[in-house]
Structure 1
Amino acid sequence: MKKDIFAICDPEAAYALRLTEFIQERQGTAFEIHAFTNVKSLCEFAAGHEVSLLLISTRAMCREVRELPIEKIVILSEGEILEELSEYSCIYKYQASDSLVAEVMEDYAAERRTPQALLKKDMCCIAIYSPIKRVLKTSFALTLGQLLAKDRKVLYLNMESCSGFSRLMEKEFTADISDLMYFIKRDGGSLVYKLQGIVQSLGNLDYVPPALSPMDIRSVECKEWLSLLEEVESYSTYEMIILDFDESVDGFLEILRRCQMVYMPVREDNISVAKIRQYEKLLEFAGYGDLEEKTRKLKLPFHGNFGQGTQYVEQLIWGELGDFARNLIREEFGNG
């Protein structure tokens, strides 16, 4: 199935190009993006294509554009308020690209558009989980994700109660996974467009900023997590999704069952072995013994300290953990 068409029209060519590139860099985009610097070329394109969403500057908006059969028009304002355009949604042009896109997608998603399901291979869902703490679980998940994203469209979801991502990525997020799950709770429209406005990128790896509050994660029900996975699989272009979570997530065993594979970092000390044994007894008692068949225990290597923040995250792939993950990818997926 074809993606929805998202057109951007602004006489300021550098701005239109920069915004287009920013959206295209988001690996799981639900749109086919086209940029125009004049109304004539936009109208010629719209005559032969069904444009779902148009983001257009006030300087370019005119009668010809009003008459185009476009589902949704959003005005890029430079700060002015024009009463003749009051029928359209309006956002401020000169703000951070991620904030701008989040506003556009929030507005678009709220109108309950349901995109067509994409014809693609089934999405591979990978869980990184361990009943043992401080076993490099998140470091490994980010390493694996970055390496897989070199050749595939990969989304990383951290569902932990306390992830530390603001410090790790050295930025404050305007929206996070809590907003995404609230959107699901109130059934506010098409999730994939909401996702498009929240997702961030680490190189080629896309990720949704984790929740700031542990209570936000604990209030999400298992069925809502499963709904999220189903929506991403059906309506995004992601080929893989990596889930990084712990027992605080409601229905975590059911979510593990939903995944094609589970990577479990382990240690060999007595306490760690005892925790693994208790977890395996839980699987047997709760009727989830099948999870052991898809679980691969990993003894991760010690890795050097690469510094703080994004420097640490980006350099993970060049250390011992990166070498370990490359070998794993070769074994499991045939490249890396």
Structure 2
Amino acid sequence: MSSKSLVICDQEEKYASAFAAYLTKKKELALQVQVCSDPEQARKIQQEKAIDILLISSGYSQEMRKEIQAGSVFVLTETASASTGPLEIPVYRYQSGEAILAEVICQCGLKGEEEGLFLQAAKKRQMRIIGIFSPVHRTGKTGYGLEMGKELAVSYNVLYINMELYGGIGGHFPEEGQTLADLIYYSRQESRNFGMILTTLAKHMESLDYLLPFRVSEDIKAVTPEEWTSLLMQIEQCAIYDVLILDIDEGIQDVYGVLRQCTEVMVPVARDPAARAKLFQFEEELRLLGYEDVKKKLVKKELER
């Protein structure tokens, strides 16, 4: 599938370059992104290849903007209520890259063109699902999961999902942005645009994609086992990820059922007797409840604290 051409034309080169860098991190987007600082450069690009999507500053006059032909024209406006030409779509420039991308994808979706924005999620093998779980608290498993994810992301497309009741927004994760709760909402709707929505929600930590954790613990407790299963299936079917890392909390519903869906379960362990006793109890419980298959997936990992 050929990629679409997206051109950002803006007098503020740092702004345009920053947004272009954000887009290039979205590995699932089938976009060729180019940046220019004046309409004349955009016209030269247009002569070489048709422009599918143009994002252009409202600082250029409407007459200048009309000289550039593109499938969809988004005008980056200084105010949220700015007016534009009849075939132009206003987008407020001073918002997050996620919000601008979401608006672009949404508008392309209204025209029936959103499918061409994405690479096909064709995989030669099953998605690897790495669970991270420990019956012992404060083992550093979240930091471990993120570091492992960043290492794997050098070679694979990796998504990290924090499924803890208290994921620590403001600690490992930024305070602002949509969260796993939003993705669960769209998963429940069985939206045909699930892959597109995941793209707009995913944030980046080096080459690793991740989702912000739930903000309210009672909300993640309310997610049913069937909803977790559906979410994992939709990610595998609709996204490009080779590896999915689940940072799992004992407080979610049917935690052992979720662990059962993992291909492997990393278990950070501590050396003190109390921690080892908890780990022993956890393994015994798996045996007693008929989760021997989960027990066989456990990979114990001693972490430096």
1:264 offset after TM fit, Å? 0.7
- SS at the partner of 1:234? helix
Correspondences of 1:12-27 after superposition (within 5 Å): 12=11, 14=13, 15-26=15-26
Instruction: State the partner residue of 1:156.
Output: 160
Distance 1:35 1:146, change over 3 A: same
Unaligned runs of 5+ in 1: 303-336
1:200 offset after TM fit, Å? 1.9
Correspondences of 1:113-152 after superposition (within 5 Å): 117-122=120-125, 123-152=127-156
What is the TM-score normalised by the length of structure 1? 0.72
Distance 1:172 1:136, change over 3 A: closer
Q: What are the Cα deviations for residues 274-323 of structure 1, in whole angstroms up to 9, with x where unaligned?
A: 43333334333443221122211122223xxxxxxxxxxxxxxxxxxxxx
Instruction: State the partner residue of 1:179.
Output: 182
Return the letter of the residue paired with 1:32: L
Of 243, 252, 260, 1:249 maps to: 252
Matched, 1:167 2:171: yes
Distance 1:216 1:105, change over 3 A: farther
- SS at the partner of 2:170? helix
1:191 offset after TM fit, Å? 1.9
Instruction: State the partner residue of 1:29.
Output: 28
Structure 1 distance, partners of 2:230, 2:46, is 37
Matched, 1:8 2:7: yes
Instruction: State the partner residue of 2:39.
Output: none
Unaligned runs of 5+ in 2: 37-41
Contact 2:120 2:240 in 1 (8 A): no
Distance 1:99 1:264, change over 3 A: same
- SS at the partner of 1:134? coil
1:92 offset after TM fit, Å? 0.4
Return the letter of the residue paired with 2:83: L
Structure 1 distance, partners of 2:110, 2:226, is 21
Instruction: State the partner residue of 2:261.
Output: 258
Structure 1 vs Structure 2 CA RMSD: 3.2
Distance 1:35 1:177, change over 3 A: same
Instruction: State the partner residue of 1:101.
Output: 101
Structure 2 distance, partners of 1:111, 1:178, is 28
Matched, 1:82 2:83: yes
- The number of residue pairs the alignment matches comes to 290
Correspondences of 1:323-334 after superposition (within 5 Å): none
Q: What are the Cα deviations for residues 76-112 of structure 1, in whole angstroms up to 9, with x where unaligned?
A: 3233633643x76532023343443344446667889
Distance 1:105 1:243, change over 3 A: farther
Structure 1 distance, partners of 2:110, 2:128, is 28
Structure 1 distance, partners of 2:182, 2:85, is 33
1:188 offset after TM fit, Å? 4.1
Contact 2:24 2:33 in 1 (8 A): no
Structure 2 distance, partners of 1:6, 1:210, is 33
Instruction: State the partner residue of 1:41.
Output: 45
Return the letter of the residue paired with 1:150: V
Contact 2:167 2:213 in 1 (8 A): yes
Distance 1:83 1:142, change over 3 A: closer
Structure 1 distance, partners of 2:205, 2:119, is 28
Contact 1:57 1:76 in 2 (8 A): yes
Which of the pair is proportionally richer in strand?
2
Q: What are the Cα deviations for residues 6-64 of structure 1, in whole angstroms up to 9, with x where unaligned?
A: 623425472443312111124x43332322542453475238xxx4x654545465387
Structure 1 distance, partners of 2:67, 2:24, is 29
Distance 1:281 1:189, change over 3 A: same
What is the TM-score normalised by the length of structure 2? 0.79
Contact 2:76 2:91 in 1 (8 A): yes
Of 217, 222, 225, 2:220 maps to: 217
Structure 2 distance, partners of 1:177, 1:222, is 15
